[in-house]
Amino acid sequence: MIKQPACLKCGKKLEDEAQEYCSDCMRKEHIFDRGVAVFSYTDAMKKSMYAFKYNNRREYAGFYAECALNSYERYFKLWRPEVIIPVPLHKARYRKRGYNQAEIFANELSRLSGIPVDNGLLKRVKNTVPQKELNDKERVHNLNNAFQIMGDSVKYRRVLLTDDIYTTGTTIDECAGVLKAGGVSNVYFLTVCIGRGF
Ligand SMILES: [Zn+2]
């Protein structure tokens, strides 16, 4: 669990009580409105996330979602998202892995919160290099035009994006940009983990 003080934008744990934003959020303007993560990306969580993503431990999502609701129910009430949208995988990667971990997490959150999941609206149209292999600048370029809205209108005003890990927020920002261009007013995120120390 991430304890206070935490960044008012991305929810990352802050070392200094007097700070409002993490150094990353002070440095750049995000497109998403606000977000939180359930856990810091510690060594223990690294192992858990690896098993969840690559070793088919899909059942972990139930535990992650329960922790999310326990910690952040107030944000669900405050943000009032109409829908949960998982950050999509490109179909080639989906086929290889067999499931989208962000979607499994979204489904569990939906089961506990009653907020529906829409996994057909946002598509990943570019099969990108994994973000963890790139630096900050390359991350932005890598995801340019990676996502698209399917169909011609978006009926949602407030969207909650889910993903497994938030690091610099490039992926969430890219999705938020596409959604906002499609008419969504507010984009929030909830991820299982958030990186530390930048
Ligand atoms: Zn932040």
pLDDT digits (tens, 9 = 90+) for 20-56: 999 999 998 999 999 999 999 999 999 999 999 989 8
Q: In this structure, are residues 87 and 175 in contact, taking their beta carbons and an 8 Å threshold?
A: yes
- Domain assignment present for 91: yes
Q: Which pLDDT score, from 0 to 100, does residue 176 have?
A: 98
* Residue 20 CA, ligand 1 centroid: distance in Å: 9
* Residue 136 CA, ligand 1 centroid: distance in Å: 15
Q: Alpha-carbon distance 37 to 165, whole Å?
A: 8
* Residue 18 CA, ligand 1 centroid: distance in Å: 14
In the chain, the percentage of residues whose pLDDT exceeds 90 is 75
Judging by beta carbons within 10 Å of its beta carbon (0-12, 13-18, 19+), is residue 180 exposed, middle or buried?
A: middle
* Residue 198 CA, ligand 1 centroid: distance in Å: 9
19 versus 83: which is more confidently predicted? 83
- Domain assignment present for 8: no
- Domain assignment present for 53: yes
* Residue 15 CA, ligand 1 centroid: distance in Å: 12
Task: Kindly write down the DSSP assignment for every residue of 92-145, as one continuous string.
Answer: HHHHHHSS-HHHHHHHHHHHHH-PPB--SSEEE-S-PPPGGGS-HHHHHHHHTT
- Domain assignment present for 24: no
CATH number reported for the structural domain that contains residue 169 in this entry: 3.40.50
Q: Which pLDDT score, from 0 to 100, does residue 151 have?
A: 82
- Domain assignment present for 6: no
- Domain assignment present for 125: yes
Q: Which helix (H) or strand (E) holds 74?
A: helix 60-79
pTM over 0.85: yes
Q: 128 is in which domain, residue-wise?
A: 30-194
Confidence of residue 143 (pLDDT cuts 50, 70, 90): confident
Q: Alpha-carbon distance 155 to 111, whole Å?
A: 22
* Residue 79 CA, ligand 1 centroid: distance in Å: 18
- Domain assignment present for 95: yes
* Residue 190 CA, ligand 1 centroid: distance in Å: 13
Q: In this structure, are residues 144 and 178 in contact, taking their beta carbons and an 8 Å threshold?
A: no
Confidence of residue 110 (pLDDT cuts 50, 70, 90): very high
* Residue 11 CA, ligand 1 centroid: distance in Å: 6
Q: In this structure, are residues 29 and 171 in contact, taking their beta carbons and an 8 Å threshold?
A: no
* Residue 185 CA, ligand 1 centroid: distance in Å: 20
Question: Could you give the number of structural domains in the chain?
Answer: 1
Confidence of residue 197 (pLDDT cuts 50, 70, 90): low
Q: Alpha-carbon distance 126 to 91, whole Å?
A: 9
* Residue 22 CA, ligand 1 centroid: distance in Å: 4
Number of other CB atoms surrounding residue 190 within 10 Å: 28
- Domain assignment present for 14: no
pLDDT exceeds 90 at position 116: yes
